[in-house]
Amino acid sequence: MTEHFYFRNHLCIAMELLSINLYELIKANGFVGFTTALIRRFTSQMLMSLSLMRHHRIVHCDLKPEASAFSIRLNSY
């Protein structure tokens, strides 16, 4: 987290800019499906993040591929 602020009574959290978002990764892969192992890694990370947010009573209001960012090694996919 780099900073946080309130906007219209909503807590907004700014995070550091990561390498790539999920949509850009899908596009870079030619819109071809990923391996099951890679999907498992993404899903595990996302579910752990959502679980942690739930524990802290935080709701993510914009879940979509463009809002799912990852820090990846270039040989990861």
DSSP character string of 29-70? TTTPPPPHHHHHHHHHHHHHHHHHHHHTT---S--SGGG-EE
- Just list the catalytic residues: 62
Q: What pLDDT, on the 0 to 100 scale, is given for residue 13?
A: 86
| Predicted structure pTM score | 0.69
What's the average model confidence in pLDDT over 33-49?
A: 92
Q: Is residue 1 part of a domain?
A: no
Domains held by the chain: number: 1
Helix (H) or strand (E) holding 12: strand 10-14
Query: What range defines the domain where residue 41 resides?
Result: 19-76
Asked if 70 contacts 22 with a C-beta cutoff of 8 angstroms, the reply is yes
Give the pLDDT confidence of 6-40 residue by residue, as tens digits: 999 988 888 887 778 899 999 999 999 999 999 99
CA atoms within 13 A on the CB side of 54: 6
Q: Is residue 10 part of a domain?
A: no
